[in-house]
Chains A and B, each alone.
Chain A
Amino acid sequence: MPHDHDDHQHDNELDPMAARVRALETILTEKGLIDPLAIDAIVETYETKVGPRNGAKVVAKAWSDAGFSEWLKRDATAAIASLGFSGRQGEHMQAVFNTEETHNLVVCTLCSCYPWSVLGLPPVWYKSPPYRSRAVIDPRGVLAEFDVILPETTHIRVWDSTAELRYLVVPVRPEGSDDLNEEQLTDLVTRNSMIGTGFALPPVKP
């Protein structure tokens, strides 16, 4: 095979999906329909370039810069693109802001819609039936499984991504983070906090 197959050392060679995918890639390559190097480049993009660090930078900037935060509220696609993040599964972005009163949670009950441009590829749980089925009917139960416990008085808003809008949650800025600069704030923003299944991390005390 023309590409790097190091990862297959960890696979059982008899694994039916590994065999099936390899067969499909072989057929498509023989027919000249795909370029295996393009597959390498796609994988590398999501392994090294496009991931939740992008979204963390957006959130940290929104926390630090009121003007940017307003722009993000009004036109998230443009505001996010100004930081260099755009493209596939981030063409039409909406940012939703958590407050003390309202907690936002994002799901795609119908498939696995997710804001790739800012969060990268979705985790397995996001694409799986337990999360997709329960997020809209029992979000408090789901959140408890992420150790996120909200007061009963906190309003929960669930965003089901049924069209091509992709949602980025801006978590509440943690207490005690006033002295941190934008780069330091970025380290507090977890992937789950931008889906709504987590909080931003508290700052590490010096």
Chain B
Amino acid sequence: MNGPQDLGGQMGFGPVAPEIDEPLFHAGWQKRALGLTLAAGGMGHWNIDESRHARESLHPADYYSSSYYEIWIKALEVLLERHGFVSFDELNAGKSISKGTTPKRILGASNVTAVLAKGGPCDREMAIPPRFKSGDRVRTRNLNPQTHTRLPRYARNKLGVIEAVHNGFVFPDSNAHGEGENPQYVYTVVFSATEIWGNAADPQLTVSIDAWESYLELA
């Protein structure tokens, strides 16, 4: 979706302003927000693509005025409601009112180390060969789905070169919406800055994205 998350090339946000000796968390609640998000995800009722889509579906004004952990918590509330774990009334009351969905599993403290160490690999065996090879000139498709996608706006309908062919990976555009993993090959595609930003762009700059096969066509 052409949502607030798709930031590449937007202007007006000001300088980066890195902090010296930045603390890992800026408030105690941020620690709990991190842990809650991971622990609730650990129930196994939604995947990372659905999580990302919930975050980018916040109203743009809300997204841009929220810190990243705020975005996480607001999206987590959406996911918990959508999957029947908590109700709007419970969130308002700040307490449990009725029993909701029964979770597939609970992340116990003793499992945390193992679960984090395992992660969630999302490469998949492919039964077919990749359509493109390194060095191929490709054009990204001009896709504007209202649903989740990982093809940023700035890199649509642009000429690039395949630099690397990766494994098959779960396709987020369908996986975010409960429509299956539908794995596709992923490619690193390199663009010149002038192709993306025009002739005034830095001639010494190239930008790459990692693109699923269906984002691309031979040029």
Contacts and interface: CB of A to CB of B under 8 A. Distances in A.
Interface string B45-77: 000000010011000000010011110010011
A149 interface: no
Interface of B: 5-11, 13-19, 22, 24-29, 31-36, 38-40, 42-43, 52, 55-56, 64, 67-70, 73, 76-77, 80, 85-86, 90-91, 94-96, 99-100, 103, 106-109, 111-113, 115-123, 150-152, 154-155, 166-167, 169-170, 186, 188, 190, 193, 196-197, 201-202, 204-212
Contacts of B9: 133, 136-137
B112 A45 contact: yes
A148 to B, nearest CB: 11
Contact of B28 (A5, A45, A140): A5
Contacts of A19: 94
A25 B106 contact: no
B60 to A, nearest CB: 11
Nearest to A10: B28
Given A7-B31, A123-B22, A157-B208, A162 B120 contact: no
A180 interface: no
A30 B25 CA distance: 26
B109 A41 contact: yes
DSSP class of B's interface residues: helix, strand, loop or mixed? mixed
A174 interface: no
B36 A160 contact: no
Residue among B19, B28, B117, B150 facing the most chain A CB atoms (10 A cut-off): B28
A205 interface: no
A124 interface: yes
Interface of A: 5-8, 10-11, 15, 17-28, 30-35, 37-43, 45-47, 50-51, 86-92, 109-112, 117, 120-121, 123-125, 127-137, 139-140, 142, 145-146, 152-165, 192, 197
A91 to B, nearest CB: 4
Contacts of B117: 86-88
A195 to B, nearest CB: 10
Contact of B109 (A35, A51, A124, A132): A35
Contacts of A34: 36, 39-40, 106-107
Contact of A110 (B5, B33, B95, B202): B5
Nearest to B111: A38
Residue among A8, A51, A134 facing the most chain B CB atoms (10 A cut-off): A134
Contacts of A17: 27, 29, 33, 69-70, 73
